Amino acid sequence: MNILANDGIAQSGIEALEAAGHQITTDKVPQDQLEAYINKNSIDVILVRSATKVRAELIDACPSLKIIGRGGVGMDNIDVDYARQQGLHVINTPAASSHSVAELVFAHFLGMARFLHDSNRNMPLEGESNFKGLKKSYAKGVELRGKTLGIIGFGRIGQAVAKIGFSLGMHVVVFDPFIDKKTLELSFFDGQKIVFTIETIMKEEVLKQSDFITLHVPAQSEYIISTKEIEMMKDGAFIVNAARGGVIDEVAVVNALNNNKLSAVALDVYEKEPQPEVQLLMNPYLSLTPHIGAATGEAQNRIGTELATQIIEISKEYES
């Protein structure tokens, strides 16, 4: 099969696919040139992350396509149902990046709790002239241990977040409309394991009880967190959104930060990605990353290998 990894793929995936006799290119083709490129090169498989969109129009215009692969979890940039109706296979890697995203969530939580997001901006500017002043400004950090972690959305990533939260000594509360109870296993380096069960509660209760809140939901038509929900939260709560842009009302978040309702908020995804609003980029109470939840070498290797394995298996249908 001819494979276009338009948003890239790890070397582990390339090697596995080439070893199985497939041809793969990692050329980055602009969205408006995809149709011509796919048809000219008889592309059978297109692999994307979040940047490239595979909509019905592209599917109709490219009859050579057999497989659409998403390196990651969410597939809102692909018309999945339509593609499958046309006989295409649509695959993704829902488990491969869970731990990487979960670690980023806590990188933000820990950083915000100790003002690292702001200190890293100001130390280069004032560290020499105002060391004592900065020390005083950042002297009211908080520990995560003993605090309540609220998780909205309890799929694979939410579950990975819960495991880290437990390991830090946090109380974990969860909302998910599709899950009543989940049993998780926390494994340690020496082979020891702890099994624990979480029963989900109402979203409003999660918002009221939590000191730290994180979202792990697919793209939505409406905000999951806006002014109404923020008003339910504890004063001084922290929020991380490493799920999808548009699940948090960014204007409401900025207002809550300016009014001291929230202590700090972290965003890895944005409503106007890849051009976030300037007021977000300049806000000292926001901890910001450029959509890097799954951007670790380990996760990308797992993603590449999982995509390759699925493609190799599906390709057997076309060889017989």
In this predicted model, what pLDDT tens digit does every residue of 118-154 receive, in sequence order?
A: 999 999 999 999 999 999 999 999 999 999 999 999 9
Residues 265, 189 share a domain: yes
Residue 244 annotated to the active site: yes
**Whether residues 131 and 62 fall in one domain:** no
**Do 104 and 31 share a structural domain?**
no
Asked if residue 244 has pLDDT above 70, the reply is: yes
Segment 63-69 mean pLDDT: 96
C-alpha torsion angle, residues 94, 98, 100, 102 (rounded to 10): 150
For residue 320, name the pLDDT band (cuts at 50, 70, 90).
low
216 has catalytic annotation:
no
Residues 109 and 254 in one domain: yes
Domain co-membership, 72 together with 143: no
| Residue of 244, 250, 302, 306 marked active site | 244
143 and 83 within one domain: no
Do 222 and 262 share a domain, yes or no?
A: yes
Structural domain of 282: 98-288
- What amino acid is encoded at 255 in this protein? N
Does the pLDDT of residue 209 top 90, yes or no?
A: yes
Do 23 and 85 belong together in one domain? yes
Co-location of 163 and 33 in the same domain: no
In whole angstroms, give the CA distance from residue 168 to residue 22: 45
Catalytic residue among 35, 273, 277, 298: 273
CATH code: domain of residue 45: 3.40.50.720
Domains in the chain: how many in total? Answer: 2
* Same domain for 272 and 123: yes
Do 132 and 275 belong to one domain? yes
Question: Are 36 and 159 part of one and the same domain?
Answer: no
